[in-house]
Amino acid sequence: MLRIVKNQKGSALVFAALIMTSMVGFAALSVDTGMILTADHQLQNAVDAAALAGASGLLINQSAATSRALAVSALNSCLNQPVVLNSGNLSYPAGNRIRVQANRPVNLFIARALGVNTANLNAVALAELSALSETKKLKPWCIPFENWNIGSPVVLKVGSASSCGEPATPSFYYAVDYPPVNKGTPVSGANVYRDYIKFSYPGDIAIGDVLQVEPGNMQGPTQQGVNYLISQDPGAYWDNSLKSVVNSNFPGFSSPRILKVPFFDPDDPPRPGRDEITVAGLGAFFLEGVTNGGEVRGRFIKITTEGTNKAGPGAGYLYKVKLLQ
């Protein structure tokens, strides 16, 4: 009888040891797995942000893309440590794409009791810069398309004493009405025109849309609308050496003086009067000023903004960035 009791006690000790080992294993699984999942999520967020920032830099060149991607990655952390990358973590599978890859060893704690000291994490993000064919919040001007360089001075609206001379088409000073005739009934008039200069047309404008021309110079409403925009960010100016807007009170491309405008094909201008014109492209400009004659002047820039990018003909100089992976 005594021998049986001793065997039972020995079995209990064996079972207790097995249970304790299992408990340690489950503890390691729950605690360390939670830490690994957190670290993996943080590392993926860091490379996603770096890829998107890098893609926006492709508006300029790959050097700018690399600088932006590395700077943004370091602003993110993984388990309270900055995600510091280098150019070896970046690649460019296409002229408009950037891939960011990061590896991080994560030190484990409870799992060390089972002989597992680290877990290696890997995160990859692929981002693309693509031209838009449709966007919102455009100004009520449609200008002839040219092959501009960044910083090129551009007349956004012809004036009575315009540096472009008189309009090529009599009475067409580049003003247009919204919405497009193919999407609704255009609303004309100086008050609506002035308000669209100040606050932009809220609807979508796409390459291929047909706009109604708003005839006449409308010098007063033009000056009122443009002066309002400049008053929102009066210290901003174009630095041609930096090829950038500087001293703005607004981050990124959010200054009220950064405008989106449709283009038309100069080989297909409207006829005199309240004619129609087809949108052949989309672009952005930094607003510099307006003359007493109603001529509006700006600088051509490239920006990222909201919109869609459907394949088709046209000149798309507005862009969006998106993650592909």
**Residue 31 pLDDT:** 65
Same domain, 246 and 97: no
How far apart CA 325 and CA 322 sit, in angstroms, is 9
| Bridge partner list, 213 | 176
The values of phi and psi at residue 111, to 5°, are: -65, -15
Tokens 């290696």 correspond to 120
| Residue 324 maps to a domain | no
What's the token pair of residue 249? 């009170």
Same domain, 105 and 151: no
Same domain, 169 and 235: yes
**Residue 21 pLDDT:** 54
Q: Which of 103, 129, 155 is the last residue of a domain?
A: 129
Query: How much helix, strand and coil, in percent to the nearest 5, is found in the chain?
Result: 30, 30, 35
Q: Which of 68, 97, 129 is the last residue of a domain?
A: 129
How far apart CA 302 and CA 151 sit, in angstroms, is 9
Residue 100 near residue 75, CB atoms below 8 Å = no
Same domain, 216 and 293: yes
Same domain, 276 and 150: yes
CA distances from 255 to 37, 199, 245, 284, 287 (A): 39, 12, 9, 12, 10
Total residues found in the chain within this entry: 325
Segment holding 19, helix H or strand E: helix 2-57
Same domain, 84 and 174: no
How far apart CA 225 and CA 280 sit, in angstroms, is 25
pLDDT tens-digit readout, 121-163: 899 999 999 999 999 999 999 999 999 999 999 999 999 866 6
3-class secondary-structure state, position 260: strand
**Residue 83 pLDDT:** 92
With CA atoms as reference, report the closest residue to 256 among 237, 223, 232: 232
Segment holding 10, helix H or strand E: helix 2-57
What's the token pair of residue 298? 């700006």
| Residue 185 maps to a domain | yes
pLDDT tens-digit readout, 271-289: 988 999 999 999 999 999 9
Q: Which of 78, 103, 129 is the last residue of a domain?
A: 129
The values of phi and psi at residue 113, to 5°, are: -65, -20
- Residue 242 structural domain: 134-319
Residues of the chain with pLDDT under 50: 1-6
Same domain, 101 and 34: yes
Give me the amino acid identity at 241.
S
Same domain, 144 and 253: yes
**Residue 66 pLDDT:** 97
**Residue 142 pLDDT:** 97
**Residue 27 pLDDT:** 53
| Residue 170 maps to a domain | yes
Domain count, the chain: 2
Same domain, 164 and 265: yes
| Residue 225 maps to a domain | yes
